[in-house]
Amino acid sequence: MTDPTLGFYDTADLREAARRRLPKGLFEFMDRGNDDELAMRDNHAVLASIKLNPRVLNDVSVRHQDITLFGKPQKMPVIVAPTGSAGLAWHEGEIAIARAARAHGVPFTLALGSMTKLERVAAEAGGPGSSLWFQFYMWPERKLSHQVIARAKDAGFEALVFTVDTPVAPGREYNLKNGMTIPFKFTTRNTLDVLTHPRWLAGVWLRYMLTTGTPRYQNFPESTQTKITALPMGRSSNFCANITWDDVRELRRLWPHKLIVKGIQHPADAVLAADCGADAVVISNHGGRVLDAAPVPILTLPRVVDAVGKRITVIVDSGFRRGADVIKALALGANAVMLGRAPLHGVAAAGEPGALRALQIYRDEIDRVLALVGCTRLEQLNREHVDLSYVRGNI
Ligand SMILES: Cc1cc2nc3c(=O)[nH]c(=O)nc-3n(C[C@H](O)[C@H](O)[C@H](O)COP(=O)(O)O)c2cc1C
């Protein structure tokens, strides 16, 4: 019988397996932060130094971790975050992660910058039990963005995630050092990197070349769809520096389902999002990949909850690697937590079973920690369960 753990006992194991399997340049693109990686470091340091206050002698023999999000039941309090280029971690990796999310009864967010067409993801990983969300960055030519959003609506995506934290390209020198340049140029260094990772070369790159050709951003309009060898890693060259709250209001008019603004880092912006008609915000510093001096989302969370928690749904992400981290966010008032790198590492390590395993690790840890703090249901968690006094001095 196959070992159900696949030999992965925590998300660090998945990360290590992904590191071994992927070419270094690609692994670093998927794993690292930006500039001096201070935001990424602090995300982890703060989460690690928040303590939980257990209450004892409660009967915790029967436990549940289901929640209701946007009126829909889901089996765990997590959501798979959008990660561009997931299809480079595994052949059609977006479908693999989306299926894993469906099996675990949690939403999957497809990134605009995917290697797999959104219509195919909906066909292969939609249907009963699924909850598909679509993330996008606005293009300078709004009409093109509105067209891709219309495609997502037609394909049955339930929620639209508008990412607003990246008006210009982040600084990621390691991509340049690794030869992940714009346009991509084959150098001795990155060719050797690929050749020394034959499992990835055969299982991902060659599989694309023999079927659909060089991986490309399949969700871009035909007119601008370009092979990844001619565009920056991760997304189009069309960063849109002039997005404003008017765009959110316009999206509210265009999109009939749930509208989520991702990349909120200030309570006042959460209020503006709610005023524009958004149904939810994601407090996020993009996993420490955009502004290196960004605040740590879990510390911004209580202020956002106080500001808008009664009006809209509050989601948080950035650095959540353990079930205990998720419990901390829920106790501080989050409705759910988004997971970025962990499911991505899972799929890079072992395809769909790896992504399934990533979510199972969170499920097991959430269940265990819930019992250890003396609760049987997530609704019983509150700020009394969290001690922030250890945070100072640890970052
Ligand atoms: C490789 C990679 C690609 C990403 N691509 C996108 C993207 O296309 N759109 C977006 O809104 N966020 C993107 N993100 C950010 C994630 O959605 C999420 O905010 C972040 O990964 C959460 O932090 P965590 O990785 O520590 O869980 C990306 C993150 C990674 C690691």
pLDDT tens, residue by residue, 68-95:
999 999 999 999 999 998 999 999 999 9
| Residue among 286, 300, 322 whose CB has most ligand 1 atoms within 8 A, to mutate | 286
pLDDT computed for residue 88 by the predictor: 95
Cα 191 to averaged position of ligand 1 atoms, centre (Å): 26
Determine contact, residues 337/106, Cβ cutoff 8 Å: no
Residue 29 has pLDDT above 60, yes or no: yes
Write the Ramachandran bin of 203: left for phi over 0, alpha for psi from -120 to 50, otherwise beta: alpha
Give the pLDDT band (50/70/90) at residue 182.
Answer: low
- Which alpha helices (H) appear in 182-289, and where do they start and end? 188-195, 198-200, 206-210, 245-254, 267-275
- Indicate the CATH number for domain 11-173+234-387: 3.20.20.70
Report which protein residue has its CA nearest ligand 1's atom 28.
Answer: 83
If one compares 229 and 212, the residue with the highest pLDDT of the two is: 212
Residues with CB under 6 A from ligand 1: 30, 81-84, 111, 113, 135, 163, 234, 262, 284, 286-287, 289, 317-320, 338-341
pLDDT computed for residue 183 by the predictor: 58
| Residue among 289, 315, 362 whose CB has most ligand 1 atoms within 8 A, to mutate | 289
Cα 290 to averaged position of ligand 1 atoms, centre (Å): 10
Residue 227 has pLDDT above 70, yes or no: no
What is d(CA 49, CA 271) in angstroms, rounded to the nearest whole number?
Answer: 29
pLDDT computed for residue 392 by the predictor: 78
Cβ contacts of 65 within 8 Å, gap of 6 or more: 75, 76, 77, 363, 366, 367, 370, 377, 378
Average pLDDT value for residue range 15-33? 97
Per-residue pLDDT tens over the stretch 324-382: 999 999 999 999 999 999 999 999 999 999 999 999 999 999 999 999 999 999 999 99
Report which protein residue has its CA nearest ligand 1's atom 19.
Answer: 286
Cβ contacts of 344 within 8 Å, gap of 6 or more: 18, 30, 83, 86, 89, 93, 97
DSSP state of 227: B
Give the pLDDT band (50/70/90) at residue 235.
Answer: very low
Report which protein residue has its CA nearest ligand 1's atom 9.
Answer: 82
pLDDT computed for residue 189 by the predictor: 87
Cα 83 to averaged position of ligand 1 atoms, centre (Å): 5
Write the Ramachandran bin of 213: left for phi over 0, alpha for psi from -120 to 50, otherwise beta: left
pLDDT > 90 in the chain, percent: 86
Determine contact, residues 240/140, Cβ cutoff 8 Å: yes
User: Which is nearest to 100 in space by CA: 68, 129, 134?
Assistant: 129
If one compares 19 and 238, the residue with the highest pLDDT of the two is: 19
- For residue 73, report the phi and psi dihedrals to the nearest 5 degrees: -70, 140
Residue 60 has pLDDT above 60, yes or no: yes
If one compares 217 and 92, the residue with the highest pLDDT of the two is: 92
What is d(CA 368, CA 63) in angstroms, rounded to the nearest whole number?
Answer: 9
Query: Could you please report the per-residue DSSP string of 344-386?
Result: HHHHHHHHHHHHHHHHHHHHHHHHHHHHHTT-SSGGG--GGGE
| Domain residue extents for the chain | 11-173+234-387
What is d(CA 323, CA 33) in angstroms, rounded to the nearest whole number?
Answer: 22
Residues annotated as part of the active site: 286
Work out the mean pLDDT of the chain and round it to a whole number.
94
pLDDT computed for residue 214 by the predictor: 87
What is d(CA 164, CA 64) in angstroms, rounded to the nearest whole number?
Answer: 34
Give the pLDDT band (50/70/90) at residue 237.
Answer: low
Cα 268 to averaged position of ligand 1 atoms, centre (Å): 23
CB atoms within 10 A of CB 394: 11
Cα 317 to averaged position of ligand 1 atoms, centre (Å): 9
